[in-house]
Structures are given as C-alpha cells and as structure tokens.
Structure 1
C-alpha cells in the first residue's frame, strides 16, 4: 500500500465472535468516502481434497459475488468478518469482483489437503477494473 497510497491510516480490527451486524456497524463508522479502503483477510476452506475444496468454495465465492451475507463457518472460518463486509458493501451499493482464486494445490503443494485463498475487490457500480491497478 505504501507504493500506491501517500497518506493513509491503518485501523486493525480483530472480530472474534462479533455478529455480522456488529462488524458492519464498525465498518460503517470507519467508512468516510469512496476513498475508504477496507481489507478483510481470510482463508476460505482448509485441508479438504482439491476437488472438494473447489466445489465447496464455489458456494462461498458465489455468496461473495452476489453480496449474500450468509456465509457460514463451514464455508469459511472467518464468516462473520466476511458477512459484515457484505452488509457494508450492499449498504454502499458496491459491486463485487473476483480478482483471483488459488489454493495450495495450484502451487507446489499436495492436492490431498489444500487451503484456498480468494481475492475480491468491491467498487462503485460503474467503475472500470481495467482502469485501476488493484494488484499494487
């Protein structure tokens, strides 16, 4: 972020057992404008065989892309931060985009037990992903 942004603050949050509504309330308090950047970090599934992980994570990905805040702990161990983010994203009328999806079996790791990682960005509805460098 330091190579792309010049003046910013980081506010770390640990969610614990907070509800999606409580997470959304905190995110709304932090939301200042469309320049606000909220990062939620979470693995998707853990230690499933490759094909099963792909099938299970497709449900989670679909929920995130549809801004559905019903991801459960079976789909993602960090379901509440994700669900809280979905509530906030919907409130601010943003659009969800999947940037990348990989799992440890896509690299040098074994495919018997994989951990899955997804990268999403949420933009105003008429934003063009092609005109912005989200990889920075």
Structure 2
C-alpha cells in the first residue's frame, strides 16, 4: 500500500467537502482579474499566500489564474513553504508516496527527490509535513487549474538562500515545471502599519532583495532562496495583488498581509 499523507487542515483552512471546495476555489478563480502576459511560456515561479481561503484565497487566485492557458503543459510542481509546526534544520522532503486532499490524491515525484541526492541541507522525513498547512492549502488550487501533475514538496526551516537556490536549480526543469513559494507577509499589525510594511516588503521582492526576515514574511527564507534562483535564471517579477485580512474577512486592528507575485521569462 502506498504511504499517503492525509489532508490535515481540510475543514479549517478550506472546506472538507469536495463539492463545496470546488465551488469556493472556482469562485476565487472566476473573480481573479490577473492579466495573462503575452508569452510563449507559462509563469515559472509564483509567490502565493497560505491563510484560510476566506482570508487569502482571492489573492492566491490572482496567481493561479495565470496557469489556465498552460493547464496541460505544467506537469510538475515544486512547492516550497515555511515549516510552522516542526523544527527543520534546512529543507524537509517527505517520504510519502502521495498527498491527499478532498479533491483527490496527488502523486509525489520521487524521481525528482532522488535526483537531489543527499545534500546536507535536505532531510527526508514525513513528520514535518504531517500537520503543516503552508503547502497543503495550495494543493486544491493546483488541482483545479492543472490537468495532472506530480508534486515535489519541500518545507523550509533554517536554509540559507544559497542552499535553497542550489536545490531549486536541480529541480528547475523546463516549461513542464512550476515553482510555487507559499508565504504570507506581515502578521498582526494594525491595518495602516501593515500596509506600509507589506508595500516595502513587496518592493524588496520585486528588486530581488533576498534578505527578508520572518517579521516581513513568514516564508522569508523560502522567498530569499527562490529570489536567488529566479534572478540567476533571468526571470522578471510582476505584482498581481497585495492585500491583507482587513481587506478580505478580518478586522483591521490585527491583520495578516498577502501578496501574489509571478516570475516570468522575459519576452523574447
């Protein structure tokens, strides 16, 4: 029998009922107004938030909507995000064969994980993934916008940018491979203060400033490594959306910031 990681946050971060989940994700995607860039290639890298869908789903959808023209071309997703619940020295790859969501089972691409070999920054361990939400909340969106894909999930602990960039380079691939970085921005600041901090953080991301700290983005270490890899491959960033929970479903006294950013190959 294959080893399967069951959905851990279905029913809390997003609906556990498959039909309700399809409707909620579908509504977010239908409302997205991201312009698809004139390009012969799909976006290579996305930064998307990972809060409950009521808070950040509309922002995430702005990035995922870009994938619609490429739903049959993207067949592998490298998904990285912060480890919130378990200490990880650098990067944690699961040993499971698949991840489940209410929309079905997603096979892990162990050939890609095997190609990483055993660099010191990668550990193979299911435990950090068992209850982690930062990767899981991205899966139903991916299942809705792509026809079929294999998953390469990595949780980021204390990895430095070069360690993560080295791993991403090994997984880079071509148009068949999408890299998704899961991160929220500031946490629990008053609305106006959060807006100012998040605008500054996004400007640093757009400038490839890979020295973010967790106070600016909970996935700062994942973003920093991804920025190093994106810059070395000549990608161009594009801000799609920037909001916070005070704009969506929360009060404005203590908000969490969300951004959707796409990194694309420059026009030829």
Q: Same fold (TM over 0.5)?
A: yes
Aligned to 1:48: 189
Separation in structure 2 between the aligned mates of residue 105 and residue 118 of structure 1, nearest angstrom: 14
- Structure 1 residue 105: deviation in Å? 0.3
Q: Is 2:184 the counterpart of 1:39?
A: no
Greater strand proportion: 2
TM-score, scaled to structure 1: 0.86
Distance of aligned partners of 1:50 and 1:11 in 2 relative to their CA distance in 1, 3 Å threshold = same
Aligned to 2:152: 11
Structure 1 outlier segments of 4+, above 4 Å: none
Q: Which protein is bigger by CA-based radius of gyration?
A: 2
Aligned to 1:98: 239
- Structure 1 residue 108: deviation in Å? 3.3
**Selected match of 2:171 from 30, 45, 52:** 30
Q: Which runs of 5+ in 1 are unaligned?
A: 128-136
The number of aligned residues is 127
Aligned to 1:78: 219
TM-score, scaled to structure 2: 0.45
Distance of aligned partners of 1:14 and 1:108 in 2 relative to their CA distance in 1, 3 Å threshold = closer
Q: Is 2:234 the counterpart of 1:89?
A: no
Q: State the secondary structure of the residue aligned to 2:143.
A: coil
Aligned to 1:131: none
Separation in structure 2 between the aligned mates of residue 109 and residue 79 of structure 1, nearest angstrom: 23
Q: Which runs of 5+ in 2 are unaligned?
A: 1-141
Separation in structure 2 between the aligned mates of residue 65 and residue 32 of structure 1, nearest angstrom: 23
Separation in structure 2 between the aligned mates of residue 72 and residue 3 of structure 1, nearest angstrom: 32
Superposition RMSD in Å = 1.5
- Structure 1 residue 8: deviation in Å? 2.3
**Selected match of 2:267 from 116, 126, 136:** 126
